[in-house]
Amino acid sequence: MTESAAQDGTATQGAAAQDAAAQGEAPLLEARELTKHFIVHRKSRAVRAQARGARRAPSDHHAGEEHPAEPELAPAPKRHHKRALVHAVEQVSVSLPAGGITAVVGESGSGKSTLARMLARLIVPTSGEILLDGRPVPASARHRRDYARDVQLVLQDPFSSLNPIHDIRYHLSRPLLVHHMARRGPELEQAMGSLLQRVALTPPDQFLYKYPHELSGGQRQRVAIARALAVRPRVLLADEPVSMLDVSIRLGVLNLLAGLRADDQLSILYITHDIASARYLADSIMVMYAGQVAETGPAATVTDEPAHPYTTLLLSAAPDPDRAEPPSVAGRGAPPSLVTPPSGCRFHPRCPHAMAVCAQRTPPAFEVAAGHQSACWLHAAGLSSAESQPLAGRADGLVPSPPAPAPGKEP
């Protein structure tokens, strides 16, 4: 499929998906208020202090000296580790219409991949609900298998998602046989050939007996997509499918996804940190920051008229060949620790527009236009003058926030 054909297909199918949403049809896949908290165990301060003391002890002993007596260690504390809660995803709702592409955009640590893994039912949400065809998905083994067939996940790294000791034939035949999509013999051969043709790996015979290390990154990702398509899914969760590929072959894989949506009415959740590719491929965009939704809306509106300072930051950092001047990036800094996230709006330590209210209360989603929402107090009416005061120390927006502590360090 050519680039323009893919774009035409994307526009037509996107309009159809938006019509379906406007007519009130139930989305194909829906997540309601999903939350995921992970418990992590960290060494307590006492244990770390004891370990530091034990490491320092040998340096006190010099060559030729009599070996000193073993120092008496303090009794080990009863609790060696303490538990901490990582607020990975909080209260996130998203819906995928049939034949629509929704992009989830955000930096590393924004909760995009955790959301995809919950939707794929690889991890269990702490709270919230997942609905397929408007109905909650039962937990029985049979329903789980049916769900796995309907909703397939394509991972970011095609090399680690393919088993290096098996050839491509094995990777494609296994889902076809396990899910009874084809019987051994000519039917299986034909099904594998047609899968490879759908992802433009032709002639199929040239690829069937190759091993993952014999393929390029783009070819490996195409095999991973073909494997997902083997069970004829209705939803594809594509977790950063092009971020590990060379820039020169990314467009080919994006056009492949657009073509699959146009040909098969496949619903796609496209997860990316690249807002420019989200604009190119998706009908709607959901921007996430530190596990929460910052902004949602039609892709063109969110990118042309961003209503959240974090979206503006992502857009200013995106490469733009037409931009003559270096980008001016407002909101430098790093994402916060998800163990102790900032109070109120989680973006307030980086936000150049932060007000007093931003550090106190979490902003709800404000409707800024039809179908366009932003979780930002800038859109609130009726804030008091005390609440709308520039946040002390952040009024000029030039003070970068401290980086998130490294894993295992005290926040």
Chain contacts with ligand SF4 (rule: CB under 6 A)? 308-309, 345, 347-348, 351, 353-355, 358, 363, 376-378
- DSSP class of residue 212? G
Closer by beta carbon to ligand SF4, 98 or else 314 = 314
Nearer to ligand SF4, 17 or 354 (CB): 354
DSSP per-residue letters across 304-316: HS--SHHHHHHHH
Distance CA 364, CA 266 (A): 32
The CB-of-300 to ligand SF4 minimum distance in angstroms stands at 22
Among residues 170 and 366, whose Cβ is nearest to ligand SF4?
366
111: left (phi over 0), alpha (psi -120 to 50) or beta: left
* Least distance between ligand SF4 and beta carbon 358 (Å): 3
CB 377 to ligand SF4: min, Å: 4
Shortest Cβ 85–ligand SF4 spacing (Å)? 22
Min dist. Cβ of residue 134 to ligand SF4 (A): 33
Round to whole Å and give the CA distance between 35 and 255. Answer: 32
* Separation of alpha carbons 144 and 138, rounded Å: 7
DSSP classification of residue 51 = H
* Interatomic CA distance for residues 366 and 295, integer angstroms: 9
- Give min distance, CB of 140 to ligand SF4, in A: 42
Write out the E strands in 71-229.
Answer: 81-96, 101-105, 127-132, 135-136, 151-154
- Dist CA 370 CA 303 (whole Å): 15
Looking at the Cβ atoms of 211 and 366, the one nearer to ligand SF4 is 366
Cβ atoms of 154 and 225 closer than 8 Å: yes
14/331 with CB nearer ligand SF4:
331
Which DSSP string corresponds to 133-156?
TTEEPP-SHHHHHHHHHHEEEE-S
Q: How far is the CB of 79 from ligand SF4 (least distance, A)?
A: 37
CB 128 within 8 A of CB 34: yes
Least Å distance, CB 126 to ligand SF4, is 24
Query: Which residue, 44 or 362, is less far from ligand SF4 as judged by CB?
Result: 362
The nearer residue to ligand SF4, 224 or 358, going by C-beta atoms, is 358
| Residue 272 or 312 with smaller CB distance to ligand SF4 | 312
Nearest Cα neighbor of 198 from 277, 268, 135, 256 is: 256
Collect all residues with Cβ–Cβ distance below 8 Å to 78 and sequence separation of at least 6: none
**How far is 132 from 392, CA to CA, in rounded Å?**
46
